[in-house]
Structure formats: C-alpha cells, structure tokens
Amino acid sequence: MKIFITGGAGFIGSHVTNKILDAGHEVTVYDDLSKGYLEYVDKRARFVKADLADFKTLMKAISGHDAVIHLAAESIIKASIDNPKTHLEKNINNAINLLEAIRLNGVNKIVFSSSAAVYGETGQKPVKEDAKKSPLQPYGASKYAIEVLLSAYHHSFGISSTSLRYFNVYGPRDDQLPVTRAVPNWFKATLTSRPVVLNWAGKQLRDYIFVKDVASAHLLALEKCGGLNNYNIGSGSGHTMIDILESVFKAAGKRVPVKDGGERSGDPSRLVADVRKIRKELGWIPKYSLEQGMEETFIFYKTHPQSLKRI
C-alpha cells in the first residue's frame, strides 16, 4: 500500500514511518518540521515539507495514496491551556483539511493518533474505550472533536477510520520543544546533571508504553481494520510517577536532585489503559517492559548529543 503519514518527522511519527516501511509499504511523510526533525525522517520515505493548512499542496501530495496515518498536531497540554483558541483551531481545522483531501482524492482509510486525554478523570481502573469522555484541557477536547469528525466522515462518505488513544508514550527521539513530557525531560536533566522537577509529589498513577510498541499498533490498525474503530494504546499497568522517575535513574545509572514542582493543571490523578479490546481484535501485545524501554531510551540520549541540547 501507499501510505501518507502526517507528522512523520516527529517523535512517534518517525517510529511509525520506520515500522510501516519495514513491513513493505511505500510511505510519504508530510511534515512542516515545526515539531519534528528532518534527521528522523526515514530515508526510504518520500518527504514533503508543508503545512496541513496549505490545502493546495496537501491535495496534490495525498493523491494516489491508499491510506493515511494522521499524527501531526499541537500536543503540548500547557500550551493548549495558555492559548486554547489557537490550539483548538489549528488541530481541528487541520484535521478538517486532511479529511476533505482524503474524501476528494478517494482515499478510504485513516488511522488517527488520538489520546487518553479524551477521557479526563474517569474513576475507572483501568479505563475502557467506552468510558465517559470528559477532557480536562483543550488538547484532549481537540482529539475528541476529531474522533467525532471521523465518525461523521465514516457514516457520510464511507471512510474507514481507527483512532488509537495513546496513554503515556516514551522512547527515543522525543525532542519536542519545549520539553514538557516527563521521561525526556528527566533523562536530559539527569545526563546533564541538572535537577529534575516532579509534580504532584510523584503520586499520580500513569500507564507508560514504549514508542516501538505504539508503532506496531499503527501497522496492525492499518492492515487489519475497517469500519469505525477506537483502541487504547497502553501497557495495561499503572506506575506512580515517582516509580517512573526511579526507572529513569536506574537506566541512567545516576541520580540528580529532585525539585518539587507542585500541582499542575490539566493532569488527571489516575489514567491506566484497559487494553483487552485491541488484544482481542487485533492481537496487539506490547513487547517491551518498562525496564527494557527505559534502557533503550537512555542509550539513545547518551549517544545523540544533539538531542541533549534540545531542552
């Protein structure tokens, strides 16, 4: 198949691109490089540097493809709270542009990079896909709004769509700026001997999933799914954030001082995935333990000094 990947120069998108190419598919990466890096784009892929807001370029670039994987997005939660109008308009309007380009070009399948942020504070332990959706911030609201748009385009125009709701993804190449996600922040701080900041006293419960396992889920969704689907992408296990920090220190083989970051808006206290649905329907099972994933992440940052400068 010919696959069109938006955001393929980014953290998750670059790993998804690798996986899709390894499976024998052709790939076009469409990315404006505002969040990604050209060095992370697989050389086997065709690359188009452009914005999703550029509808003319998008229409031309997407022509002839069989399916789309949509990862490009504004994804910093704090930014969505500080500038909700800009955040919502960009994510939702770009998704509309993409869906229109898909419809007008006769592409019949899309896999969407959604988020556990659509759930909010559910109270479920763990969270199932049919849980109530109550996003706590504009970022989660934008992801949920796009899922609703996908439903409309499926029922109105027959476009198959699968939304993959990521929980906490970590791994190599997480160089999004500013660095707000915990794992890359903590590895970069530890390797450069700076204090790390820990919010909520590290008591929040989270589900961390390695990026290469996430990439595998995209391949399965691409090759096996039809109709209208949504799946949680997580390990199915919860860890407190203080435990995640300890796993970073263990992988790095060193410790640095820990500063209390206090409370942070937009954070649910507990968010752990129920992954039985995707295991049953697609046969997806994470292969990397937390220890294995952290070790591989540490090796990446240790051997990529240019990445340590992105802080």
Annotated catalytic residues are: 139
Q: Is 149 helix (H, G, I), strand (E, B) or coil?
A: helix
For residue 98, give the nearest of 83, 77, 113, 85 by alpha carbon. 113
For residue 264, give the nearest of 209, 202, 310 by alpha carbon. 202
Which residue(s) pair with 109 in the sheet?
160
**Peptide bond between residue 138 and the one before it cis (omega within 30 degrees of 0):** no
HSE-up of residue 267 (Cα within 13 Å, Cβ side): 20
- Cα→Cα distances 172→74, 142, 203, 261, Å: 20, 26, 25, 25
Strands 196-199 and 109-115: unpaired
